[in-house]
Structure 1
Amino acid sequence: MAGRILCTNSLIKSFTGLTLSNSARNVVKRVEGTATLLQNHLPCLSASRNTSFFNKLPATELWKGVTSVSNAGKKRGRGKGVGRKIAKDLNKGQVIGVGRANILWPGLNAPIIRGKELVTQQQLPKDPEREKKLIKLRDSMGFFRVLRINPMDRGWSGSKMPGRSIGPPDAVGEDTFEGFDTRVLELKTVFIMKGNLGRTRRFSVLSVTGNGQGLAGFSLSKGSEVRSALRKSKNRAGQKLMHVELCDNHTVFHDFFCAFGKTKIFVSKKPEGHGLVCHRAIATICKVVGIKNLHAKIEGSTNLQNIVKAFFIGLLQQKTHQELAEAKGLHVVEFRKENGNIPHVVASPHSVRKPEEIPSNENLDFSQYVMGDRIVLKKKKFPPFYHGTKGHDLYLRKRENLRNQVKVRLDMLTHYGELRSFQTDKYPECRPYKHKKEVDEADA
């Protein structure tokens, strides 16, 4: 479309000194015939711009320009509460394809096929209350608030990611990870220098996934964004699953020693009800694997990646009772305090060695054999500063007759259900005095 202008004779005469195209000359000639009518008028020149600073940039960039702080200001502690936006989201409540006309669009705000019929475009009755509902929804928004995390969903330290659950890995085709749970063990920011991009920031995520029944895997992945790094680590952990043997579905088969780098871990088997007494990363791994009772002691480096790798190496290297029996050619016998230390055979080999076939220098100690001929050093407790003083010696002499009272009371309650003496059967009055209130509660 050709542009049109209004100008005076003097302006037209100034065009004669310019080099114009044929189309431009025709426009000037047409204007010369009407220029005499416009001699008393001044040229009307006004600059118009259809774009501005406010409609060029998105809302996030506008907020950044208003609330951002320089790097020097950040180092001095400025701008700590800058991230809050005191604005309303005017797009809230609006859905693509739904507007004032209220038209049904197949494939946009309605399915293309409903049952066996093909949905067609049609006009729906208008909603007179639509504008009021949108205004009410926007006015009730208030300020942006930080979402509170349920205490059960928090990580090791408050709202940080390590220790939190990010769900099961994504399905691979028709294979789904039902019953799996993924826990984040480490989330940190790493930087790398490149010749063309310079210093770039990435996020490193170490996570472990498992179904709580002996199937688990871990993975270390990196990404340019936190969400992509978490998703990549979760899915890779699901592709690197390992099977771990569980003893009675609650603990390991035996004590073992494992190491990676400068990290050393001594793991001890514990009975049911003991719980997980170990590093928080090892406790998280045990939960996704299915181990409920265990004690682990770390010596050396506490690097998180070394701890995870060392513990998985130890879990995979442990042997079942049957494998131990076959390796030594002897019966594996277990003694338990809850069973009165009565020997119980848990595994037997196919061919048992005779006593004369066993060398005299062979190590037959079970704990030393499974620990790889290593012995855990149990350090003595450092005595308190008041040890050996006159007051402490006097206290020990007074408490000498009662030094085992707590253990004896607990043993009596466990075996007899009450506090009693060895002469209680002969003399029933050899029982601790009970108040009347306790007797009434027992009778009730």
Structure 2
Amino acid sequence: MALKFLQVGKLLSKSFQNLRINPTPSSLLSQNHQINTIFARNYPGFFTKLPADHLWKAVTSVSNAGRKRGRAKGLMRKKNLNRGQIIGVGKANIQWPGLSAPIIRGRELVHRQTLPPDPEHEAKIIKLRESASGKRFNRLTPLERGWSGSKMPGRSIGPPDPIGEDAFEGFDTRVIELKTVVNMKGNMGRKRRLSCFVVTGNGKGLAGFATGKAVESKNVLRKAKNRAGQKLMFIDICDGHGIYHDFFCQFGKTKIFVYKKPEGYGLVCHRAIKTICEVVGIKDLYAKCEGSPTVQHVVKAFFLGLLSQKPYAKTAEAKGLHLVKYSKETGFFPKVVASPTRCRTEKEIRENEIIDYSIFAMDGKLPLKRKKFPMFYESSYGYQVYLKKLEKRRNHFTIKENMLVEHGEMKSFLTDKYPECKPGRLPKREPEDQES
């Protein structure tokens, strides 16, 4: 930039090609007054001749060789410096009539005035720029995050969109898989899209799963959950917390062995199966997966197993027999859980008919469990001596536990007749003095 001070005569004699001046009144030119005028010329420079994209490229780009070596991970993101900027609002908090304030307020004419400074003005603009650049992420609570960090699999994306007047109240949709798929075309080349696999349910037995594909992440999530809401199926839950019986299910090369557990056991299974159980409403279950760990195969196999369950009422009606339950928690006391409309007699039951409910539910099959081999020390002489010494007191702990449950204390069958027939108790230790 060049600055020059010239007289009026020299100024008028100059060509007006590179000069821009305001016309001067003749009264000033007639007098011998010297007018100081500032002349400025704007030369094109690096910051004026290039657009903003070229300037940002200097700090946000990396070579192809550097990108292959992983140097593009910590680069600065492009920021929109115009974000948050409002005409008339700046560092100096000034009220401009017609720009940042009305010209007339009621019947009063608004004048320009300086307002008290706003110390948070710059902080707000910086926060807007950082959030727009995508550098900082909102911290998620442990209940909101997915299976690993802030990735989508395992996260909730809300209920499906309502269809007309029908709304999905109480439904929750979980993402099972979100990946990028590529389709190669002869004329279009590689076409990249996102594929999303979700499961939705209301926690009361209604559930469904579906796959959606789209170019943008918002569209693929919306499409997948709406499709899942249109493919609902009903799953019967036993006693409101678990499954009816053990079952085996398979899809492709994926095999799943599912076992019924008592209330309060929890969900000990694959993370995809756990997510499905939370959506369906199952609270207690144990599952073991074998074969291919493909997530979509795991979900499809587990749904096939849930739908193939045989509820108590339908089983009793199909067999024409009473269904009786024996459990360790109730001391193996028989409990009738379902009865048919007409019970068959003993003569009508065939000799080779399956009576065991667990075997009947597995279609006459049982899982082949791996044989447990003896430990290396069980054949030693010392372990045999240990077993001989343990022989006389091998059931002491079980008997003591049963007595405490039934009677509330340790006692013998002669205690009622002879009250002194009780196990001795150690006297309570008195607190020792501080000096001793």
- The question of a shared fold, defined as TM-score above 0.5 by the shorter chain, is answered with yes
Instruction: Choose from 123, 138, 142 the match for 1:147.
Output: 138
Change in 2 beyond 3 A, CA 1:132/1:321:
same
Matches within 5 A, 1:200-219: 200-219=191-210
Deviations 1:195-226 (CA, angstroms, capped at 9, x unpaired): 23312322222111111111111112222222
Deviations 1:243-300 (CA, angstroms, capped at 9, x unpaired): 1111110011222222111222222222111211221111111111111111222232
Instruction: Choose from 328, 343, 365 the match for 1:374.
Output: 365
SS at match of 1:207: strand
Change in 2 beyond 3 A, CA 1:140/1:294:
closer
Instruction: Choose from 335, 347, 350 the match for 2:338.
Output: 347
Q: CA deviation at 1:134?
A: 2.6
Residue 53 of structure 1: aligned partner: 50
Residue 150 of structure 2: aligned partner: 159
Is 1:254–1:318's contact at 8 Å kept on the other side of the alignment?
yes
Residue 6 of structure 2: aligned partner: none
Counterpart-to-counterpart distance in 2, 1:146 and 1:227? 17
Residue 189 of structure 2: aligned partner: 198
Q: Aligned letter for 2:197?
A: L
Counterpart-to-counterpart distance in 2, 1:344 and 1:385? 43
1:181 and 2:168 matched: no
Residue 66 of structure 2: aligned partner: 73
SS at match of 2:51: helix
> RMSD between aligned alpha carbons?
4.2
Residue 122 of structure 2: aligned partner: 135
Q: CA deviation at 1:405?
A: 6.3
Structure 1: 5+ residue stretches without partners: 1-37, 105-122, 439-444
SS at match of 1:357: coil
1:305 and 2:305 matched: no
Deviations 1:149-189 (CA, angstroms, capped at 9, x unpaired): 21222222233222222222222233222222111111222
Counterpart-to-counterpart distance in 2, 1:155 and 1:326? 43
- When the two structures are aligned, how many residues end up with a matched partner? 380
Q: Aligned letter for 1:291?
A: I
Residue 238 of structure 1: aligned partner: 229
Is 2:178–2:197's contact at 8 Å kept on the other side of the alignment?
yes
Counterpart-to-counterpart distance in 1, 2:411 and 2:80? 73
Residue 116 of structure 1: aligned partner: none
Counterpart-to-counterpart distance in 1, 2:240 and 2:229? 22
SS at match of 1:312: helix
Counterpart-to-counterpart distance in 2, 1:430 and 1:289? 52
Change in 2 beyond 3 A, CA 1:51/1:241:
farther
Q: Aligned letter for 1:288?
A: V
Is 1:102–1:124's contact at 8 Å kept on the other side of the alignment?
no
Counterpart-to-counterpart distance in 1, 2:234 and 2:356? 28
Residue 91 of structure 1: aligned partner: 83
Counterpart-to-counterpart distance in 2, 1:78 and 1:424? 82
- Say which is worse superposed, 280-289 or 145-154, in terms of deviation: 145-154
Q: Aligned letter for 2:115?
A: P
Change in 2 beyond 3 A, CA 1:131/1:230:
same
Counterpart-to-counterpart distance in 1, 2:423 and 2:145? 53
SS at match of 2:286: strand
Is 2:60–2:78's contact at 8 Å kept on the other side of the alignment?
no
Is 2:209–2:231's contact at 8 Å kept on the other side of the alignment?
yes
Residue 14 of structure 1: aligned partner: none
Percent of residue pairs identical: 51
Counterpart-to-counterpart distance in 2, 1:428 and 1:62? 96
Matches within 5 A, 1:32-47: none
Is 1:167–1:180's contact at 8 Å kept on the other side of the alignment?
yes
Counterpart-to-counterpart distance in 2, 1:219 and 1:94? 45
Q: CA deviation at 1:354?
A: 2.1
Is 1:156–1:162's contact at 8 Å kept on the other side of the alignment?
yes
Change in 2 beyond 3 A, CA 1:292/1:401:
farther
Is 1:419–1:432's contact at 8 Å kept on the other side of the alignment?
no
Counterpart-to-counterpart distance in 2, 1:423 and 1:163? 61
Residue 214 of structure 2: aligned partner: 223
Q: Aligned letter for 1:244?
A: I
SS at match of 2:199: strand
Counterpart-to-counterpart distance in 1, 2:209 and 2:299? 8
Change in 2 beyond 3 A, CA 1:180/1:341:
same
Counterpart-to-counterpart distance in 2, 1:241 and 1:209? 8
Q: Aligned letter for 1:231?
A: R
Higher helix share: 1
Counterpart-to-counterpart distance in 1, 2:277 and 2:129? 43
1:430 and 2:423 matched: yes
Counterpart-to-counterpart distance in 1, 2:227 and 2:114? 49
Q: CA deviation at 1:407?
A: 5.2
